[in-house]
Amino acid sequence: MITIQHVSKYYDDHPALQDLSWHVKAGEWWGIIGPNGSGKSTLLQLLSGVEAPTSGRVELEGRNIRTFGRKELARKIAVLQQEGLPQTNFTVREVLEMGRYPFQNWRGREQRDPGPFLDSIMDKLELRELQHRPVDLLSGGQRQRAALGKVMAQEPSLLLLDEPTTYLDIRYQLQFMNMVASWRKETGITVISVLHDLNLASQFCDKLLLLHENQSAGEGSPAQMLTEENLRDIFRVDTSIVPHPCNGLPQVLLVRQ
């Protein structure tokens, strides 16, 4: 799906990412974890094709990502940021329609009417009743669902999530992740997510990429990556890793000093 080879990114002389190589297969769900400033967001920017690496190469489906046109790229990759949608008085439905932008001609028309498709998205995300409500009147959880609806309308084959659950309470965190999971199950979409919540990452991601000081600190399954030593090395905190009572996946407990 997407491959990066010896990629580095510098802002002026300051390194944000150094010599990273990584391969993501179609259909996988990856989590990128690491402390603040370790290069997670930079990596996501490079993967989205908006920024060019200082050196190295990012390839999407075997082709240099910088050779894609913007609309062409938006039909393949969608990005959801932590703040989701800004305060705007566009309605939920209008925002979902904006997700269709890469498919529209200059007059805003598509070959087929996107209406039924947008309806089905809103049904899945429990947004149907809110469709004519302006986004600035939605609660945080509703707004993030609308943001998810917009990227679903984009019909990408790769979804990039940048700390999408940051501003949500635990109910909406779980709801959001479950919605992404069922979308993935239906369409086989590839997901790469930057997550701060290691326990959510463990339960939803197939594989984790660890970043530390702008470099890779290992990749593998959550069970391989979420170890007490790794977390001590990367985050400088003491933890206890216990298996989740329901599914046996590793869960991180913080240890007070």
Is residue 43 a contact partner of residue 215, using CB atoms and an 8 Å limit?
no
Query: Using CB under 8 A, which of 21, 37, 50, 220 touches another protein?
Result: 50
Q: SS3 of 124, please?
A: helix
| Cα distance between residue 21 and residue 213, in whole Å | 15
| 169 near another protein, judged by CB under 8 A | no
Query: Using CB under 8 A, which of 2, 32, 74, 198 touches another protein?
Result: 74
| Cα distance between residue 170 and residue 76, in whole Å | 30
CB of 58 to another protein, least distance (A): 15
Residues of this chain, 184-243, that bind another protein according to CB under 8 A: none
| 48 near another protein, judged by CB under 8 A | yes
Q: Kindly determine how many residues on this chain lie close enough to bind another protein according to the rule CB under 8 A.
A: 30
Nearer to another protein, 46 or 231 (CB): 46
Q: At what angle do helices 140-153 and 115-124 cross, to 10 degrees?
A: 140
CB of 120 to another protein, least distance (A): 20
> Closest by alpha carbon to 77, among 117, 46, 41, 122?
46
| Cα distance between residue 225 and residue 116, in whole Å | 42
| 85 near another protein, judged by CB under 8 A | yes
Query: Using CB under 8 A, which of 8, 81, 166, 187 touches another protein?
Result: 81
Using the contact rule CB under 8 A, the part of the chain among 90-98, 138-146, 168-176, 187-195 near another protein is 90-98
Query: Using CB under 8 A, which of 21, 55, 64, 89 touches another protein?
Result: 89
CB of 101 to another protein, least distance (A): 5
| Cα distance between residue 207 and residue 28, in whole Å | 8
| 60 near another protein, judged by CB under 8 A | no
The beta strands (E) that lie in 25-147 are given as 29-33, 55-60, 63-64, 77-80
| 10 near another protein, judged by CB under 8 A | no
Is residue 210 a contact partner of residue 219, using CB atoms and an 8 Å limit?
yes
| 136 near another protein, judged by CB under 8 A | yes
Is residue 58 a contact partner of residue 2, using CB atoms and an 8 Å limit?
yes
E strand or H helix at 7, and its extent? Answer: strand 2-11
- Interface with another protein (CB under 8 A): 48, 50, 70-71, 73-75, 77-79, 81, 85-90, 94-95, 98-99, 101-102, 104, 106-108, 136, 150, 154
